Each structure stands twice: as structure tokens, then as C-alpha cells.
């Protein structure tokens, strides 16, 4: 990784993108204090992560969910797994029970239905949610997710994104979302951080993605929605200036234009 500085306001959702080997996961693990830099110093929230004492301060502020949730799940039951961090912090049994139930309900896992099940008997989507509940239970300021939708079916993806949207809106958690999926990033992120060979090459609003798609060091390709927007410019030239990158915004725009055209034809 090369020298870089990122500022993430409270409640902002950023997507880290780039080709394989660009440094996405390394950046996430350094930020979470899971890796030490080979040289130099990494500061997160003004905390240096180069020694264990400093990293322990960071672990109370940042939660990390791996792209392989089964690597983070290890206890006999979902309840024990999610509450593991609180037991280490000497919370009482009553407090752990209340907080585990709250975390599970927040991410959509029914407490009574799942608390006594083995985490290894859950589906991939349920494992991802259980790992997320374990990360959220200490109420972190920053949540880092590495390829959170990899291998999930469309229903599980929608459920996970709904949880992240709720967290952003109600808890003001800063979300760092590492992904290869450009459309996921455009639908949910406020900013895109684009990496190439360990270097930050672009930090831009998600709506400005069209301006860098032709950049030789950004191996991203237009999504079907972006390509459709380009085709619609022939019919609606002004769409080029609207920076539409989300499905619901495109549907609303086209619906409104068709309605206006229909009303004009009826006059």
C-alpha cells in the first residue's frame, strides 16, 4: 500500500473498489488493526495501529466482517458466538442476553429461532448476518465489510443491504464496503474509493462514476444500468447531466418523462 489519507464522516457509506491485487482487502484489514504495516505508520481515528496496546483501543471503535464469515464463527451456538466479545469484556449474563437479542433482531435473525442453532448449520446468508451481529454488538463507530455479498443469492443480498441501509440511517455508523460489484456500490454508497496497485487513484461521489470509466488504471466496466442510461440519451438528452446511477432514480425519471409526454399528447 502507498501513502494515502481517507476521511469518512459519521454515517457515510463508502465503497472500496479495484481489481484483484489492488489492495482493497489489505486496506480494510489495516484499517481494522488486523494487519500491521511492513513499514511506516497507519493511523485510524488518530490511533496508531503499530502496537498491540493502540490496536486494542481501535477494536472498540471498529468492527470487521470477513468475506468468509465461517472463519469468524467458532462457538457452539449462534447466541454464544454473537455474545463472545461481551463475555471477554465481563458483561453480566443479563446484559449479554439483552444485547445479543437486540443485535439479532436488528439484523433480522429471530432470537428464539436462531439462538440455540449451530452457526455452521446456517445458510451462507444467515452466517453473514450472524457475523454482522457479532460485529455490531459492541456498537462500533466504523463497520468494515469485505465482499459482504459474495456467494449470496439475490434474496440474501437484498436483506443484507436493507440491514446496512437501516444501520446507516438509525445508528450513524460509517460503513466501509469492499466490493467488486459496481452496481451494488452505485446503489448504496455515497462515495467510491478506487484503488490500483495499492494506490488511491480516485475518490469521488458515486454519481460521478461515468467520468472515470474510461480511465486506463480503473478496470471497471459500465453496468447494464449505466449502458441503458447512455442509450436513453438519444431520447432524453438531458439525462447525461443528471448523473443517474441507481435503478429507482432511473425508473422514476423515465416514468415521469413518459407521463409528461402523454399529458402533452392529450392536450
Q: Count up the domains in the chain and report the number.
A: 2
266 pLDDT above the threshold of 80: no
Residue 18 domain-assigned?
yes
Looking at 216, 231, 249, which one is the last position of a domain? 216
Do both 174 and 242 map to the same domain?
Answer: no
Place of cell 480516485: 202
Do both 28 and 144 map to the same domain?
Answer: yes
Burial of 221 (0-12, 13-18, 19+ CB in 10 A): exposed
52 pLDDT above the threshold of 80: no
Predicted confidence at residue 35, as pLDDT, reads 85
Which CATH number is 128's domain given?
3.40.50.300
Rounded to two decimals, the pTM is 0.87
pLDDT (tens digit per residue) in 207-241: 899 888 877 777 788 899 999 998 998 888 888 88
Distance CA 207, CA 211 (A): 9
Do both 226 and 132 map to the same domain?
Answer: no
**211 against 56, higher pLDDT:** 211
179 pLDDT above the threshold of 70: yes
pLDDT (tens digit per residue) in 116-160: 999 999 988 889 889 999 988 988 889 999 998 888 888 888 888
Residue 257 domain-assigned?
yes
243 pLDDT above the threshold of 80: yes
Measuring CA to CA, how many Å separate 6 from each of 24, 64, 169, 259? 13, 17, 22, 43
Residue 4 domain-assigned?
no
Do both 91 and 116 map to the same domain?
Answer: yes
Residue 28 domain-assigned?
yes
Please say whether the beta carbons of 52 and 46 come within 8 A.
no
Mean pLDDT for the chain overall = 87
Do both 118 and 200 map to the same domain?
Answer: yes
Strands 191-196 and 13-17 turn out to be parallel
Range list of H helices, the chain: 24-31, 52-59, 78-82, 84-88, 93-107, 111-114, 124-136, 154-171, 182-188, 224-232, 247-266
The neighbour count for residue 233, using CB atoms within 10 Å, is 12
Q: What is the mean pLDDT of residues 56-63?
A: 81
Do both 188 and 226 map to the same domain?
Answer: no
The neighbour count for residue 41, using CB atoms within 10 Å, is 10
Do both 123 and 241 map to the same domain?
Answer: no
Do both 19 and 131 map to the same domain?
Answer: yes
Do both 175 and 231 map to the same domain?
Answer: no
Do both 133 and 226 map to the same domain?
Answer: no
Do both 41 and 144 map to the same domain?
Answer: yes
87 pLDDT above the threshold of 80: yes
- Enter the C-alpha cell of residue 128: 453473514
Domain holding 118, by residue range, is 13-216
Amino acid at each position: 500500500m502507498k501513502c494515502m489519507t481517507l476521511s469518512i464522516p459519521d454515517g457515510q457509506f463508502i465503497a472500496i473498489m479495484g481489481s484483484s491485487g489492488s489492495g482493497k482487502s489489505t486496506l480494510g484489514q489495516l484499517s481494522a488493526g488486523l494487519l500491521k504495516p511492513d513499514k511506516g505508520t497507519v493511523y485510524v481515528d488518530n490511533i496508531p495501529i503499530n502496537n498491540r496496546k493502540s490496536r486494542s483501543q481501535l477494536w472498540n471503535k471498529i468492527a470487521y466482517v470477513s468475506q468468509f464469515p465461517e472463519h469468524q464463527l467458532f462457538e457452539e451456538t449462534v447466541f454464544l458466538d454473537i455474545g463472545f466479545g461481551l463475555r471477554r469484556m465481563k458483561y453480566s449474563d443479563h446484559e449479554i442476553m439483552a444485547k445479543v437479542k437486540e443485535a439479532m433482531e436488528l439484523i433480522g435473525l429471530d432470537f428464539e429461532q436462531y439462538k440455540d442453532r449451530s452457526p455452521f448449520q446456517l445458510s451462507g446468508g444467515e452466517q453473514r448476518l450472524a457475523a454482522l451481529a457479532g460485529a455490531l454488538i459492541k456498537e462500533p463507530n466504523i463497520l468494515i465489510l469485505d465482499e459482504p455479498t459474495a456467494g449470496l443469492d439475490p434474496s440474501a443480498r437484498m436483506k443484507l443491504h436493507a440491514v446496512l441501509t437501516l444501520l446507516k440511517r438509525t445508528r450513524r455508523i460509517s460503513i466501509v464496503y469492499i466490493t467488486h460489484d459496481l452496481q451494488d456500490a452505485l446503489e448504496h454508497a455515497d462515495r467510491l474509493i478506487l484503488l490500483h496497485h495499492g494506490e488511491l487513484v480516485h475518490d469521488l461521489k458515486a454519481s460521478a462514476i461515468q467520468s472515470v470509466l474510461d480511465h486506463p488504471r480503473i478496470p471497471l466496466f459500465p453496468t447494464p444500468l449505466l449502458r441503458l442510461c447512455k442509450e436513453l440519451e438519444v431520447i432524453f438528452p438531458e439525462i447525461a447531466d443528471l448523473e443517474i446511477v441507481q435503478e429507482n432514480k432511473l425508473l422514476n425519471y423515465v416514468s415521469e418523462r413518459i407521463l409528461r409526454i402523454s399529458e402533452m399528447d392529450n392536450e
